[in-house]
Every structure is written in structure tokens, then in C-alpha cells.
Structure 1
Amino acid sequence: MDISNNEISGEIPSILGNCSNLTTINLSINKLTGGIPQELGNLEELRSLILFENNLVGPLPPELSKCTKMDKFDVGSNLLNGSIPSSLRSWTGLSTLILSDNSFTGGVPSFLSEFEKLLELQLGGNFLGGAIPSSIGALVSMFYALNLSNNALTGPIPSELGKLARLQRLDLSHNNLTGTLKALDYMNSLIEVDVSDNNFTGAVPETLMNLLSSSPLSFLGNPYLCVNYLPSCGSTCARRNNSFKPCNSQSSKHRGLSKVAIAFISLASSLFVVFVLYVLVYMFLLRKKTKQELEISAQEGPSALLNKVLEATANLNGQYIIGKGSHGTVYKASLAPDRDYAVKKLLFAGHEGTRLSMVREIQTLGTIRHRNLVKLEDFWLRKDHGLILYRYMQNGSLHDVLHEIKPPPTLEWSVRYMIALGTAYGLEYLHYDCDPPIVHRDVKPMNILLDADMEPHIADFGIAKLLDQSSASTTSIAVVGTTGYIAPENAFRPAKSVESDVYSYGVVLLELITRKRALDPSFVGQTDIVGWVRSVWSNTEEIDQIVDSSLKEEFLDSSIMDQVVDVLMVAFRCTDKDPRKRPTMRDVVKQLLDANPQMRSIKG
């Protein structure tokens, strides 16, 4: 039952408790008043109760504990109060719990640690008080969000919080928390953090430095928090983080210097000046030396690693080629048994007027960190080509796994789903967490690389814009993208909107479901995968007629079939001809999570 967003007023009728077959109730975004009827506890089949953004009052009825199949419970943005009843521990399959923006009291319950399948916990904007329980570290499956903000919480962050290694969003802002942020140093999956307006002390962990650089407001309001300016962060952090003192700053009380100290400083300064002059002379002479075409310029990117790569590939000899795409040729360089790299050679019509902007663009791309984006390790630019260095991915591209490897490897639905979800997370990060947002413009299986655990990593983000800059002096305009993945509105013009990425992502979803190419030879006429799937579905509405035959055995589990159909619906929405009707990538992530609420973990 879904009658959300209808300006319905009055109280929730207790007679709803007689609708014994109800599995979902969504009354959100209305004007409902009164309390939550205890009779809803009679709905033993209820899996989803969504009541957010109303004017509901009173406590949570303990009788709701009888809804033992509860998967999603959202009563955020109401006027509810009281403590969180311990009887709700019977919701052992709960994946989403949202109680934010109410007036709950009584502390963060320790029994929440029993929700082993919990993916999202939103408790912000209440009056819970007390300390963060160490038992929260038991929620190892949680990865979408943990929000404890605006709760008058006290004490330090428990070290056990660091066990939430898969968590992507953490909000502890506007509390009275103390101690250091050391526990967060082990949470490498975080893409959003807000610890502002607390009393934290000590250094911001190295793993959070990029988040500090991109969103310094999320760390403000902690007067004794300091920053170690690391080489990996460089001057970017220093420019953006003027509000944070360096951890190694000296106390102002030591103002007087002895004559010996002054003499020592003078000597050191003189030696430093001599050293700088020596380096400048050396660099001037070095630049006059004749360079081979593939030598590395230290002024255009870090050079040591690339020099080794060029040696390992015999100056990019053809025998090391592992792939060719629309953006260039890819080589494999093995520096050690556990150190393999992929180096992409880009060809462009560069000119001196754009070189500086291209260097800055690549440097910006190099600062982007996300578990589902390929990390740029190094780069080098010349007038007519560039080299971009990435870590080599053991399982190649999604295109290889779906279409090229013979015999085709087995791909269970759980693996395909995780590839879809991880790719969605990566695109969501590019669209929402980069400033300015990055439009990929060429989303396709060939640009989705798979590591040893089959976790996806999006490659070539930002490359299309880079190549645009390299051809800025030309008069022709090329359509960026790959045929079969280009949104209809971009058929004759460059794709520059996030909606175009969403369309391309929808095509990737269809390939994951069908294991057919975007332009498969089996399609009759001149249709593509979008037209073929829509045609078959509209005529039959039978998923068996669409899905990869190797998945049909898994359909003995009806929940798997339901997930595939739900993901197919997401793909249909993504590939809508009207870009205004397509979901955002943030919406896509939520829809994918809704398609598989029982997901227990993420690989990696």
C-alpha cells in the first residue's frame, strides 16, 4: 500500500492492523497526526513501514516487535519521542532503520548490534545523549550510511567503530564528542564524513585528508583538531584547509631564541640557499640535454614510476598491448610479482595553449579516491600524446568477462548485482561528490574493470574532457561516447550531462542481465539492446525471454528472479528517451539497494 505524498491528514486508522497480507505500507510525506497504532503489530507479513515526514507523536509501540519480517523501518522527520524499545531486537532481518529528526531519548541502544544485516542506520536529530556504544562495531555489514549527528552524544569515538570497513557515509556532527579521530583511520571506504562541531583533538587521519580537502566544512568546529600536511596531499590541502593548524606548529610561548640558535638558523639558511641554487643550475643544464621521445618530464608529472614502466614495456613495445579502445592503447607493465600496472597511451592534437590546463585536469583526477574508481597512479604529457598509469586489474574489463573470454566464465547473479551496485556507487561519487561534478561521457563495460574479487572499478573518467581540451583549436566537433551507449539526445552532439551517463549505465545493466552486446548480431533489424529488451518485455513480460540462460537455474529461488526483474525496471528507467524522466545515480543506488534488501555483505 503506497499513498505517499498526498497531503492526507488525520490519524493512521488502527483497522489497518486487520489487513493481514500487507507487506508494505508507505504513508510518507503527508500530514498525518496522532500516534503509530499498536495494531500494526498484527501484520506478521509486514516488511516495510515508511512513515517519514508527517506529524506523528508518541512512542514507538512495542507491539511492532511482532512484525518479525521487518526489513525497512522509516519514521524520520516526525514528532515521536520516548526511548527505542528493546523489543524491536526481534527484527533480525532489518536492513534499514531511520529514526532521524524526532525527539527520541535514552541513548543509542546497544541491542542495535544484533541487527546483523543492517545496511543503513539514521538516528540523527534526536536527544539520545550518552556515549556511542562499542557494540556498534558489530554492524560489519553496514555500508550505506551511519548518522548519529545532533544527539548531544559525549565521550570518544569507540575504536570498534573502525571495524565498519565497508561504511561509505558517516555523520557524527553537532555532538559533544571528544578524543581523536584515530578510529576512522581504518575506514578506507568512506566517501562522506562529517565530524564538525564537536571537541575532537589531534591529527586528522591520513585516510581522511582527501575528504578534508574536498569538504573542509565537515571538520570545522573542532578547535584542537590539526592537520599533518602530507606529500600525497600537497599544497592543495594547505590552500583549502587554512582553518586547521599544522600538527607540528610550535607553541607561541617559546618566543625567545638564544644567540647560538640564531647562528645555527643563519647557517642553515645559507646552506639551503646554496642547495637551491645548485638544484636550479642542475635543472637548467638537464633541460638542455637531448631527450628521447619517451623520456619523462618531472615538470609534467612524477617520473620515477613511469620510467620503470617504460623499461618494463621496452618503450611501449607492441608485445605488451592488452587492449585498444576509443581513447587509446593500453599496455601491461609488470614491475614485480605483485606490482602490475596498466599504462594507457592517449593520442591528441595538443598545442601549447592547452598543456597547462591539461596538466591541471589530470592532477585533479589524480586526487579522486573511491573504491569503485580506478586510481590514477602517475601521468606524463607530450605535445601529441600522453601516458596515464593505473593499477592493473586481474579480471580485465566487464566487456571481456561478458563477451570475449571463451568459454564464457560463470557469472552468478550475486556477482552481477555487486558489479551493478559498485558501478552505480562510482558514478554517484563522480556526479555528487566531485566539485565540479564529473560527467564520464563513455560509460560502457570496457571501461568497468574488475579486480581479483570481481569488484568493479570505473576507468577513463574525465578522459573525454581531457581530449576535448587537446583538440580545442580544431573546428570539428566529435560525438563523445560509444555507439549503443549514447543517449538519444546526444546522437549528434557531445554528451555533457549526468543524464547521459545514467542512460549509458542503463545499457550496462541490460548487458549484465542478458549477456548480449549493446549492438548484438542476434537483434533483428537495426535495433540495439534497449529496443530489443523493451520489445520482448512489452510482448511477453517474461523475464525468461530476456535473461542470460545461465541465470535461469537460479530462478528456482523466486527472490533471485524478483531481484532480476527489479534491476530490469531500473534499467528501463535509466534508458528512458526523455532525460528528464531518468533517475539520478543517487536514486539508482537506492533503487538497487531496495531490489536486494537481504544483501549480507559487499566483497572487498
Structure 2
Amino acid sequence: MRKLLEFLLFLALVPAFVRSVDPPLNYDVLGLIVFKADVKDPESKLVSWNEDDDNPCNWVGVRCNPRTNRVAELVLDGFSLSGRVGRGLLQLKFIRKLSLSKNNFTGTINPSLAQLDNLRIVDLSDNNFSGPIPNELFQQCSSLRVVSFARNNLSGEIPQSLSSCSTLTAVNFSSNQLSGSLPSGIWSLNGLRWLDLSDNLLEGEIPRGIEGSLPDSMQKLTMCTSLSLRGNSFVGEVPTWIGEIRNLQTLDLSGNRFSGQIPDSLGNLQSLEVLNLSGNGFSGSLPESMIHCKALYALDFSGNSLTGNFPAWIFGLDMQVPMLPENGPSGKIKDHSPSSVQPSFYNLHLLDLSDNAFSGEIPGNIGLLSNVQYLNMSRNSLVGGIPESIGELKTINVLDLSDNLLNGSIPSDIGGTVSLKELILEKNFLAGKIPIQIANCSSLTSLILSRNNLSGPIPVAIANLTNLQTVDLSLNNLTGTLPKQLANLPHLLLFNVSHNHLQGELPAGGIFNTISPSSVSDNPSLCGSIVHRSCPGVLPKPIVLNPNSSSDSPGVLSSSSNLRHKRIILSISALIAIGAAALIALGVIAVTVLNLQFRASTSHSAAALTLSGGDDFSHSPATDANSGKLVMFSGDPDFSAGAHALLNKDCELGRGGFGAVYQTFLRDGRPVAIKKLTVSSLVKSQDDFEREIKKLGKIRHQNLVALEGYYWTPSLQLLIYEFVSGGSLYKHLHEKAGGNSLSWHERFNIILGTAKSLAHLHRMNVIHYNLKSSNVLIDSSGEPKVGDFGLARLLPMLDRYVLSSKIQSALGYMAPEFACRTVKITEKCDVYGFGVLILEVVTGKRPVEYMEDDVVVLCDMVRGALEEGRVEECVDGRLGGNFPAEEAIPVMKLGLVCTSQVPSNRPDMAEVVNILELIRCPSEGQEELG
């Protein structure tokens, strides 16, 4: 540091001498040390930078010219650095490449970088730079070749001085907030090969030439290979001179407001590989001249108003179909079936013609597109059937023909599309059966055939498609039973067969344990608990807890077919005792002792459990004051050691405001969690208790802990839940070692999953009342599951003071309206608790922290830190800086909005879910410009 101070003083006092005499110290070393002093390095990536070194050539990220030992390149991409880019870099007089991409640098771009006369490549992409692009930066750029400021927060207009950089070959200003019109001189950059200004706020028209020729200002742009203006607000027609940029390989004008016809001159672009004109207002038909663009790899015309003939030039065909403009041109596709016909585009992998007004039939030789992987013709007016040659598309991954006027049947040749992952044929007039050959599409993840006229049974062979995640066969005329093998599909997330004519019993297991009733509704002959309809001839066997059993556990259950006539059943030990009189006395003594202990521990609770099932959760009558009732909503097997678990502290999982939770097992070996309620004196009557519990038992969501049953006696109430193995969110945040802390991705998923569960509860008119991190469980796949929802409704009245006392462990989560009798308790209470939970997940801190001489409220701490720009202090330090600020900051702000003191200022949970899904940033891989 002494050398650094000497050098800075030296520069301040005798600048002229410094310029005329070789300094005793290395400029590059000191310049980089000054740069490092302005930077935060949480991962210690720059630890090798030592001010005492003679040169920096062995430092990480630094590359020197081997002849001069002066810095030629500084590449620090993805180092998680933050702070500002200071003036230290100006000492690197011989640097040719400066790349600081994929970091968290802030502030404005330093215009003094223009003083680096040898600089050829500047890449500051994927940071948080803000403000305008300095005009001075391009006033002295005699050597600059590549500049990328992509994916920052830059604003203002593109500087006019950019037009003076005649040496530029690549410019990437995409994904910022740049506005205004393009500098007219940008089109005269004769060396430009790559121009990407996409995803900004730019506007205006592309200048037009005289009689279609290239404007004088653009005569030298003909060497450009990539032009992207995607996602701006450009208007007008695409000029015909675009076809004179004959070296173009990528042309992306999507997501603007271009109108008019697509120019015929595009046919001149014989090197064109990617053409994207989607999301504009183009009209008319596609130019047949494009038959000459044989290098096309991806072609996207979706989201326009194109009409007329279907593009048969794709197959190298001459359509020769007259246009009918007076009838709103419809055009038809001429089918050329000879096998000698070859397609124009051998390399075409993506073809998207969706959201237009194309008509006619799909050509019978569609199979000629032998390399296509993505084919989307949805939301047009196509008629006729699906050609059998569709099975020749061996490489296709996505086929979307939805929302057309297609008829006929699904061809059995569909089984030839062996690489198919998504088949979307909804909203057509397809009839006939679902072909069993579809089972050959072993990679299929989505099968969407809804809103057609399909009939016949659902093929059992579909159960062989083990990769299926989404199946929608709703609104058809399907008949028969649901194949029970469907329950074995391991990845199935959505299965909708509503509005058909299916019959019989719903499958058991898999997705059918948690399926929404709406997914199987309007099938009058389907039966099962989900559709509230009993299956004929299927009666659940009652289960009885035998108080006189000599088993080691007082919770052993046995089946009985004549429960109403016989309440006590001989256990195995009793049968053995018949043949061994000597053991009878011992058995009687053992049973007596166990019964006395059991009755004392449960205050004369249930001596008998009866299992009732069926769609209406019908009761089994109790015959005496000591008998209890067990109801399993799904008719699953009974407990093997349920009551034993309640007497064993080793089986206890935790305790909360409404009771203790224990783990036990069903007879089929499946674990369940039992909550033993400790609010017996406040619980409603049996009828009210059962009514509320059955409502909660019908609520199913992938992010909610499923309530599977209950047990009732006047003095003992048990709730039976699915067992979630991963422990609570509280333990993951506050009790696990730092090495096992949750990643940012895992935290975001927990926040989003919890939000979805609460939104679902609110749609079902259920308020949670008791949201906190200890009530959010994590399953084996890392998904959150919210438990203990709606239990406050078991109280005889929703008195806020009684409720507060029952959930006092939720200190810090409770909305302020709990303290005010005049404010109605609504779903906004859950929103408040969720906001606190967001901040707890992001920061890793408890809602209220008790210090030696202070109490820190999490909401206040985060609000103050954000207002002062101290973002790093808010995010859990165990993340080590490995989090995207563009996600973390909006998430924390959302948490603060949710914890507004005024309930009406808080968003609904459905809105919260939408906001979170918008915040999530897709990971984008960006190749280095060079």
C-alpha cells in the first residue's frame, strides 16, 4: 500500500514528469490495485493480485503481451464482483480486451475508457450499469472493434457518436431501456457484422431508399451477417433494400409494430439461416421468392395477420392457386404427392406459422420436412385431416396443430414420431379413437387432445409413456374405464378427463390421490370419493381397535365384517391362549394392565376405532361412550401402531399451538403424521368438527400437506396427515449447518410454492391463520408443503384473542389487525404472514431477533437496508453472493408490500403468484462477442 500512496502522490504533483520519464513502478500493477480497491470480491477471486509483484502477468484474469509484459487483456467474467469501475483501469495503456461481464457492477459507464487508445473489445454485459451511454465513449475509437453493454439498466438514446466508429464489427446494446430513434449514421458502418439492439424502447422507422434501392447512407452495410431489432417499437414497412444485405445469416425483427407486406426481396438472402418476423402486424401472403433461401434453419412468422396460401414453397412446390382478395384471401394448399419431390429446406429445424389466418389443408407430403424439430401451425383456419406422412417426422419434438378446423381421425402413423415430446391437437374437430400407436412416442411429456370429438376408450398403452407430465383429454366423447395403470406414471402432474362419458372406479395411487375434482368432473358414471359418488358393490371393511387385545400395542387394528353385531374380536394371542390354558391368566393380566394405562393416558378416550369410507364419508355408529370413530378419506389401510405412537415420545415430531405431532405407519407400510389436538375444551361439537375436517380433507394441492383422515372421541381428537420427510423450513433456515444451507434457486421455489398453496386455499375460501416457517415442510424433492391450514375453524368462534393465544408462537407473522376488534380478519392476514416468510427465507433471519439491548423486527430491518442501498446486508450470507440481484431485490420488495400495515394495500395471493413468476429470470447463455 506504501507503493500505491507514493505513486498517487507522484501523479498528483508531477504529471508532466511522469509522461516524459519511465516510472520506477509498474503502471499496470498499480492501476489494477486501484481498480481492486473499488471492488467488492465476496469469493476472493482476486486474491492473487499482490501490489508487491513486479508485474501482474500471473494474476488471475490478466493476460500480458509476452514481449512487453504489459497487460493486453483483462477478463473477469462471472467473478461475482460488485462496486464501481474506477479510474484505475485508465493506467492500462496497452490493453486490447476488457471483459467484465456477468458480475454485479453498478454506477455509470466511465466515458474516460475512450482514452485507452488500443482497446479493441469492451464487454460490460450482464451487470447493473445504469444511466446513458456516454457520447464521449465513441468520439475517439480508432481501434474499437466489439462493444457489448447488453443486459444492463442503461437508458437514454444511443449516442450519435457511435456512427463515427468505422472500425466497429459488432455492437450489442440489447436488453436495456434505451429509447428514441436510431442514429442515422449507424447504417453507414461499413465493417459492421453484428448489430443487436433488441429488447429496448427504441422507435421510429427504418429509413427507406429511393424506388427500393439501398439508401446512400447504407451502401456499406452489405457485409452485416446479423441484424436484431427485436422487442422495440419500430413501425412502418420493412424496406425492400433489406434484401441487399446479402450476407445476412440472422434477421430478427420480431416484437415490433411493423406492418404491410413482407418484401419479396427477402428471397435474395440466400445465406439466411434464422428469420424471425413474429409478433408484428404483417399482412398479405408469404413471398414465394423465399424458396431460394435454402439455408434457413429457423423460420418464425407467428403472431401476424398473414393470409392467403399456405407456404407450399417450403416443399419446393409451385402453388399456382389464385388469390381471392374480395373474399378475404383464403387460398388452398396444392398437394404434390410424388415421392420425387424434395423440400426446399433440408436444414429447417423450426417452423412457426401460428396465430395467423392461413387456410386450406396441411400438405400430404409434410413428412418431407425430415429434419424439423418444432412445427407449430396453431391458431389458424386449417381444414381437412392430419396427413399420414406426419409419421415420417422422425426428429420432431413439438407438434402443435391446435385451434384450427381439422377433422378426421388422428392417424395411427403418429407412432412414427419417435422423438415427439409435445403433441398438442386441442380445439379441432378430430374424431375417432386415440390410436394405440401413440405408445411408440416414448419421449412424450405432454399429450393435449382436449376439445375435439374423440370417442372410444383411453388406450391402456398410454400408461407405458413413463415421461408423461401433462395429459388433457377433456371435452371429448371418450367412454370406458380409466386404466388403473395410469396411477403408475411417475412424473404425471396434470391429468384432465373432465366432460367425457367415462365410467367405473377411479384408479388409486399416484396423481389420483391428489387430483382436483374438476379434472374428472362431468363424467356421470365415474365413481370414487373424489367425485362424491359411491362405487356399486364396493364397501369398505370397518376397522376396530380391540381394547381386549393382548398385543403389545393398544393400537392394533383388525377387520370385521359384522361390526354391528360383534364389537370384540379374538386376537391372535387369544387364539393361542385357547390351546394353552396356562397362558390365559397371563394374557388377562397383561391386557388389564395395558388397558388401565391406555385409558389413563387418553382420559377415557377411544376404546374402539371404526373406519368408514365411501364418497360421503358416512359414519359407523358408536355403541358406547368409550367408542371412537376413525375416518380415512381415501379408504387407505388402518394404523398398525397408531395409539402406541401417541404413547411414545420417541415418535413425536414437534409441537405447535394446536397440538403435538407424531409419526406412525399404516398397515401397508406408508408413514403418516398424526396431530393430537390439545384444544379439546375449545373444539366444536362432533358434528361441527367433522363438517370442518371434511372440508379441509377435500382440499388437495401439490404444495399443501394432505389431510387423510381423522379420529374422534369427546375427549380425544386426532388428525391424520401425509408424512413429509424433509423437515420444516424453519430447521432448514435456522438449525442446519452453513454447508447445507438452501441455494437461491431452492429458496425461490419455496417462496413460489408456498404462494401457490395459499392462493389455492383462498380460492377454496379457507384462511390459514397460522402461517410460519415451522408450518412449511420440505419434501424429498425440495418442494414446499404447507400444513396446519384452516385449523382455527375448529374453534367454536373465531375470537381473535383466543386465536392469538393459540398461535402465539407465530410472533412476528401476525397481521396488525389482530389487535383491532373493528378490523375484519380476512385472507390479507395470510398475505401479511407470507410477506414475513419471504423476508425470512431471503435473509435467513427470524421475524423477530432479540439482541442484548434491542429487539430487531425483520420487516423494519429490511426496509431500512433497501432504502439505504445496503442490499448485501439483507441477503443470507450463507449464499456467498450466489444470487441474482435482479430476483432478490424485487422479491424482498414484494415481501415489504405484503407486510403493509393497511390490509387493502396488500396484494391478493393470486397476484403474488403472478408477480413472482414475472420476477423469475430465465437463465440466458450468451456467447462472447469476438
Aligned residue number for residue 909 of structure 2: 584
Which is higher, the Rg of structure 1 or of structure 2? 2
Gaps (5+ residues) in structure 1?
Answer: 3-11, 210-214, 248-275
Provide the rounded CA distance (Å) in 1 between the counterparts of 2:379 and 2:737. 54
- Contact kept, 8 Å, 2:683 with 2:689, in 1: the verdict is no
The answer to whether structure 1 residue 244 and structure 2 residue 521 are counterparts is no
TM-score (norm 2): 0.44
The answer to whether structure 1 residue 348 and structure 2 residue 679 are counterparts is yes
The answer to whether structure 1 residue 156 and structure 2 residue 434 are counterparts is yes
3-state DSSP class of the match of 1:509? Answer: helix
- Contact kept, 8 Å, 1:348 with 1:385, in 2: the verdict is no
Change (3 A) 1:125 1:495: farther
Structure 1 residue 449: Cα displacement: 0.9
Structure 1 residue 293: Cα displacement: 1.9
The one-letter code sitting in structure 2 at the alignment partner of 1:244 is S
Provide the rounded CA distance (Å) in 2 between the counterparts of 1:583 and 1:16. 47
3-state DSSP class of the match of 1:324? Answer: strand
- Partner deviation per Cα, 1:22-76 (whole Å, 9 max, x = no partner): 674599999998679999x9xx99999878xx9988779999x9999x9xx9949
- Partner deviation per Cα, 1:450-487 (whole Å, 9 max, x = no partner): 1223222221223232x2xx324989653486332233
- Contact kept, 8 Å, 1:296 with 1:306, in 2: the verdict is no
Change (3 A) 1:47 1:329: farther
Change (3 A) 1:194 1:36: farther
The one-letter code sitting in structure 2 at the alignment partner of 1:440 is H
Change (3 A) 1:595 1:464: same
- Contact kept, 8 Å, 1:162 with 1:183, in 2: the verdict is no
The answer to whether structure 1 residue 426 and structure 2 residue 775 are counterparts is no
Change (3 A) 1:179 1:459: same
Provide the rounded CA distance (Å) in 2 between the counterparts of 1:191 and 1:429. 21
- Partner deviation per Cα, 1:87-125 (whole Å, 9 max, x = no partner): 57399xxxx999975546796999999898x9xx99753
Q: How does 1:392-471 map to 2 (within 5 A)?
A: 392-406=723-737, 409-432=740-763, 436-465=764-793, 467=794, 470-471=795-796
Aligned residue number for residue 259 of structure 1: none
The one-letter code sitting in structure 2 at the alignment partner of 1:219 is S
Provide the rounded CA distance (Å) in 1 between the counterparts of 2:712 and 2:467. 31
The one-letter code sitting in structure 1 at the alignment partner of 2:865 is V
Find 2:350's aligned residue among 74, 81, 89: 89
Q: Which has the higher helix share?
A: 1
Q: How does 1:18-167 map to 2 (within 5 A)?
A: 24=231, 75=303, 89=350, 103=381, 124-127=402-405, 131=410, 148-154=425-431, 156=434, 158-159=438-439
Aligned residue number for residue 504 of structure 2: 227
User: Kindly, what percent of the aligned residue pairs are identical?
Assistant: 25
- Partner deviation per Cα, 1:421-462 (whole Å, 9 max, x = no partner): 332333343344xxx433323222211111223222221223
3-state DSSP class of the match of 1:202? Answer: coil
Structure 1 residue 380: Cα displacement: 0.7
3-state DSSP class of the match of 1:281? Answer: coil
Name which of structure 1's ranges 380-389 and 156-165 shifts more when overlaid on structure 2: 156-165
Aligned residue number for residue 518 of structure 1: 847
The one-letter code sitting in structure 1 at the alignment partner of 2:609 is S
Provide the rounded CA distance (Å) in 2 between the counterparts of 1:31 and 1:591. 29
Structure 1 residue 573: Cα displacement: 4.5
- Contact kept, 8 Å, 1:197 with 1:220, in 2: the verdict is yes
Aligned residue number for residue 378 of structure 1: 709
Provide the rounded CA distance (Å) in 2 between the counterparts of 1:524 and 1:97. 66
Change (3 A) 1:26 1:294: farther
Structure 1 residue 548: Cα displacement: 0.9
Provide the rounded CA distance (Å) in 2 between the counterparts of 1:571 and 1:139. 41
The answer to whether structure 1 residue 202 and structure 2 residue 514 are counterparts is no
Provide the rounded CA distance (Å) in 1 between the counterparts of 2:561 and 2:665. 38
Cα-Cα RMSD: 5.9
Q: How does 1:464-503 map to 2 (within 5 A)?
A: 464-465=792-793, 467=794, 470-472=795-797, 478-479=803-804, 482-492=810-820, 497-503=826-832
Aligned residue number for residue 859 of structure 2: 530
Q: How does 1:289-300 map to 2 (within 5 A)?
A: 292-298=604-610, 299=620, 300=629
- Partner deviation per Cα, 1:154-195 (whole Å, 9 max, x = no partner): 551734789666x7x967224546541657768999999753
Provide the rounded CA distance (Å) in 2 between the counterparts of 1:491 and 1:77. 58
The one-letter code sitting in structure 2 at the alignment partner of 1:243 is P
Structure 1 residue 345: Cα displacement: 1.2
- Contact kept, 8 Å, 2:378 with 2:403, in 1: the verdict is yes
The answer to whether structure 1 residue 280 and structure 2 residue 564 are counterparts is yes
The one-letter code sitting in structure 2 at the alignment partner of 1:591 is L
- Contact kept, 8 Å, 1:511 with 1:518, in 2: the verdict is yes
Q: Which structure ranks higher in relative contact order (CA pairs < 8 Å, sequence separation ≥ 6)?
A: 1
3-state DSSP class of the match of 1:389? Answer: strand
Structure 1 residue 529: Cα displacement: 2.2
- Contact kept, 8 Å, 1:425 with 1:589, in 2: the verdict is no
Aligned residue number for residue 879 of structure 2: 551
- Contact kept, 8 Å, 2:499 with 2:522, in 1: the verdict is no
3-state DSSP class of the match of 2:660? Answer: strand
The one-letter code sitting in structure 1 at the alignment partner of 2:404 is N
Provide the rounded CA distance (Å) in 2 between the counterparts of 1:594 and 1:344. 37
3-state DSSP class of the match of 1:301? Answer: strand
3-state DSSP class of the match of 1:582? Answer: coil
Structure 1 residue 549: Cα displacement: 1.2
Change (3 A) 1:31 1:394: same
Name which of structure 1's ranges 81-90 and 480-489 shifts more when overlaid on structure 2: 81-90
Find 1:308's aligned residue among 640, 649, 656: 640
Q: How many pairs does the alignment contain?
A: 521
Find 1:368's aligned residue among 688, 693, 699: 699
Structure 1 residue 381: Cα displacement: 2.0
Aligned residue number for residue 273 of structure 1: none
- Contact kept, 8 Å, 1:370 with 1:426, in 2: the verdict is yes
Aligned residue number for residue 255 of structure 1: none
- Contact kept, 8 Å, 2:472 with 2:495, in 1: the verdict is no
Structure 1 residue 136: Cα displacement: 8.7
Provide the rounded CA distance (Å) in 2 between the counterparts of 1:561 and 1:112. 43
Gaps (5+ residues) in structure 2?
Answer: 1-174, 178-202, 209-223, 235-253, 315-344, 353-373, 488-493, 529-559, 571-594, 611-619, 621-628, 926-930
TM-score (norm 1): 0.64
Change (3 A) 1:200 1:90: closer
Find 2:835's aligned residue among 500, 506, 520: 506
Change (3 A) 1:350 1:278: same
3-state DSSP class of the match of 1:322? Answer: strand
Change (3 A) 1:302 1:149: same
- Partner deviation per Cα, 1:316-355 (whole Å, 9 max, x = no partner): 3334322111221112336799744322111224689731
- Partner deviation per Cα, 1:352-388 (whole Å, 9 max, x = no partner): 9731232233234334333322222332122244212
- Contact kept, 8 Å, 2:706 with 2:721, in 1: the verdict is yes
